[in-house]
Amino acid sequence: MVAERLGLWRFSGFELTRLPAAPDVHLFRIRGREVPDDQRLIALADVRDLTVVRDEDGRIRGLPQLERALDACLDSLRAARSADNELAKLDWNRVKLYVWPVVDARLSEFGQVIRSLAPRTEALGLEQVLVQFRVADDHGGSAESRELMLRMSRPPGAGLTLRITDPPPQPLRELNSYTQKVIRARRRGAVYPYELIPLITRSPDPGGTPGTFTEYDLDEIGAAVPVDRDPGSNTANLVLGVVSTPTKRYPEEMRQRRGHRHQRRRAAVLERRGHDAHAHQGHPDHDPGLGHGLDRKAVARLFRRGLRRG
């Protein structure tokens, strides 16, 4: 019953090793059966009661039982990582809480208190904090409850993100090659270049539409051309591309009509050199952070040839 409630069936593709943890916390080190390099820490706990603390204006200020369960999971992760250097290197870890009582408050009321918990989760290599809970399903007059999943994460360039989804119906998949590259970069204290794309395509206008990133590569004659491929499929330690971001000042129709000078298009170089990752925008001759030799010439060709044709 406990295993089903906490979703242990989702780890059927992994080997699980139980680790010491606080009372009522189930802490596991999981290792992929097909991809042994996929190793993570998973902390699971129940929230058997849910008291909603409100201030004099009726706003939610605290969820004591949920906060205690989260702190117990985080303390268990912290202790395990402090005691074992190998565990301290693991990223893409998760915390999952299962709330027993049906939540009878509007979900929008929980945003502020949930966001206040985010600083506690730092420096633990967490990919997500998951909270599975039930809400009353009033649709059609039914007294049934519906299960939902709150997901708290920090995607690159987006800051703290809260999403509510249905609980996943399938087992957890092992990490693909792209995600493993992201993790290896994080372990070196770097950012995988493609993870910077949401940051450089973010609109400067509040609530504006994000821009697009078109990746470029060199063809057989050494000219920069656009490519259509999955992120992380490049073979060089240099990622080239063009960022195009519509703004209130330069909307889509103005960009098309007025030509490339007013398009708000800019070249971006996402570069890995040693343990560092950089995002460069602007003219390569004015950017001292770009590479040298062949890499620098390739970047120059991107600006001088590819963008003129675009």
**What are the pLDDT digits (tens) for 130-162?**
999 998 876 545 567 889 999 998 765 566 788
List b or e across 290-302, with b for residues whose CB sees 16 or more CB atoms inside 10 angstroms. bbeeebbebbebb
Mean pLDDT score of the chain? 78
pLDDT of 292 higher than 50: no
Residue 134 and residue 147 in contact, taking contact as beta carbons nearer than 8 Å: yes
Q: What is residue 177's three-state secondary structure? A: helix
pLDDT at 143: 62
Residue 217 and residue 241 in contact, taking contact as beta carbons nearer than 8 Å: no
pLDDT at 105: 84
pLDDT of 296 higher than 70: no
C-alpha dihedral sign at 293, 188, 92, 69: negative
Mean pLDDT for 258-262 is 36
Residue 281 C-alpha from the chain's centroid: 23
Which residue, 59, 144, 148, is CA-closest to 97?
148
DSSP secondary structure code for residue 158 in this structure: T
